[in-house]
């Protein structure tokens, strides 16, 4: 490994550091962008059930929903403002959704930067290696291949290493960006559905009171007969 680093020149070090950072970001985003942590179906169903209540903002489970996941945080902000006008509730959902999207996009800029700069670092190493080769040719000529091997080795190693780091970094960057976009679309749909459920005209605004039970007849009570309206027929 040490010989490999020495052969690649000083530019191999930032490429290797970039590879470690890219691997750490890929693993961290893989764990963070899990659908169970972003959009658990249980939390969505629970928020929709609360939205159908007469007074959703008074429900005691809203803080628990907000702490459960990103979609829970968004839906909880809407439920807390369910007693406000529709446009205020919508603005609250949109603002919380922007923060959630920003949180999901965390480290994506760094991963995209690594995918962009590592091939350039490899190309720079190639240029430096070729400069060394031509410097040796100028001083010693082309008679000794051993003298030219150092510059050629630097050019090939840095280029190969830079491309090897950039390709997986670019693949995972595109994959995670697509996954984040899918989450954002689903969050917008669930937020819109929450608004419709909260403002549904069919929702009960007053809790139904239990109907009083019908009076029971005492079997021992005397039976009252109705008077005959036509006494002549008797």
Residue 232 counted as domain residue: no
Residue 221 has φ and ψ, to the nearest 5°, of -75, 145
Looking at the domain assignment, is residue 207 inside a domain?
Answer: no
Domain count, the chain: 1
Token pair in block for residue 64:
């628990």
Examine residue 56 and state whether it is found in any structural domain, yes or no. yes
Per-residue pLDDT of the chain (234 residues; tens, 9 = 90+): 566 566 666 788 889 999 999 999 999 999 999 888 899 999 999 998 988 888 888 888 888 988 889 999 999 999 988 888 888 888 999 999 999 999 999 899 999 999 999 999 988 888 877 777 767 666 666 555 665 565 676 677 888 889 999 999 999 999 999 999 999 999 999 999 998 888 776 555 433 444 445 455 555 555 555 555 555 544
Question: What pLDDT sits at residue 137?
Answer: 66
Q: Is residue 117 part of a domain?
A: yes
For residue 208, being part of any structural domain is answered with: no
Could you tell me the residue range of the domain that residue 191 belongs to? Answer: 2-198
Looking at residue 52, what is its pLDDT?
A: 87
What pLDDT is stored for residue 214 in this prediction? 47
- Domain annotation covers residue 210: no
- Look up residue 228 and give its DSSP letter: P
Determine the pLDDT at residue 28: 94
Q: How far is CA 125 from CA 23, 36, 110, 131, 158, in A?
A: 22, 43, 22, 10, 5
């Amino acid at each position: 490994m040490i010989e490999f680093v020495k052969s690649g020149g000083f530019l191999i070090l930032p490429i290797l550091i970039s590879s470690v950072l890219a691997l750490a970001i890929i693993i961290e985003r893989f764990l963070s962008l899990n659908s169970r942590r972003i959009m658990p179906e249980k939390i969505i169903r629970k928020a929709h059930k609360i939205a159908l209540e007469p007074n959703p903002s008074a429900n005691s489970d809203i803080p628990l929903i907000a702490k459960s996941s990103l979609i829970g945080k968004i839906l909880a902000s809407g439920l807390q403002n369910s007693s406000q006008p529709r446009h205020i509730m919508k603005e609250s959902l949109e603002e919380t959704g922007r923060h959630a999207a920003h949180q999901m996009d965390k480290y994506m800029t760094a991963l995209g930067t690594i995918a962009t700069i590592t091939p350039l670092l490899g190309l720079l190493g190639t240029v430096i290696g070729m400069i060394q080769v031509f410097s040796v040719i100028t001083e010693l000529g082309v008679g000794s291949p051993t003298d030219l091997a150092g510059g050629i080795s630097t050019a090939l190693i840095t280029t190969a290493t830079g491309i090897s780091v950039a390709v997986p970094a670019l693949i995972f960057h595109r994959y995670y960006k697509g996954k984040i976009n899918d989450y954002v679309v689903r969050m917008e749909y669930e937020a819109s559905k929450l608004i419709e459920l909260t403002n549904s005209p069919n929702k009960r605004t007053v809790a139904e009171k239990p109907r009083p039970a019908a009076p029971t007849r005492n079997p021992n009570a005397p039976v009252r007969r109705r008077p005959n309206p036509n006494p002549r027929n008797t």
